[in-house]
């Protein structure tokens, strides 16, 4: 099944925006690989946000700096920017993925 079947097409917004959040849980490679795969999809616009703990974990587990992580995304947002476009409930997105995500983070 291709991504076009997973993410519904909306003529109003031809690019599908997906937010990827990298948290401090172990398994940062999941978020990194997701970014790498989605970058290859021309119809997908990725928005990345990395927590301070996520930055540290990603560096320890993958060797990637925050700058390198940001370069994998279409748009990178500062963790402390509460005025970021993705912080608005009216900003149209196809979805958000937190990877890695611990069960504790879900509560």
Domain ranges of the chain: 26-106
Query: Does the pLDDT of residue 6 top 80, yes or no?
Result: no
Q: What is the pLDDT of residue 30?
A: 96
Tell me what the mean pLDDT of segment 45-51 comes to. Answer: 96
Q: How far is CA 74 from CA 26, 39, 40, 43, 107, in A?
A: 24, 8, 11, 11, 29
Q: What pLDDT band is residue 89 in, cutting at 50, 70 and 90?
A: confident
Domain 26-106 architecture:
3-Layer(aba) Sandwich (3.40)
**What is the spatial distance between Cα 88 and Cα 84, in angstroms, rounded to a whole number?**
7
Query: Does the pLDDT of residue 47 top 50, yes or no?
Result: yes
Q: What is the pLDDT of residue 56?
A: 97
Phi–psi pair at 70, nearest 5 degrees: -60, -35
Tell me what the mean pLDDT of segment 87-98 comes to. Answer: 91
Q: Report the Cα 72 to chain-centroid distance in Å.
A: 10
């Amino acid at each position: 099944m291709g991504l076009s079947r997973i993410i519904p097409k909306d003529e109003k917004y031809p690019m599908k925006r997906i937010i990827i959040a990298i948290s401090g849980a172990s398994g940062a490679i999941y978020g990194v690989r997701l970014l790498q795969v989605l970058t290859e999809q021309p119809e997908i616009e990725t928005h990345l946000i990395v927590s301070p703990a996520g930055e540290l974990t990603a560096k320890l587990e993958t060797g990637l700096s925050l700058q390198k992580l940001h370069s994998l995304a279409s748009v990178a947002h500062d963790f402390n920017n509460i005025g970021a476009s993705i912080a608005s409930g009216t900003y149209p997105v196809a979805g958000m993925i937190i990877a890695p995500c611990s069960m504790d983070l879900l509560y």
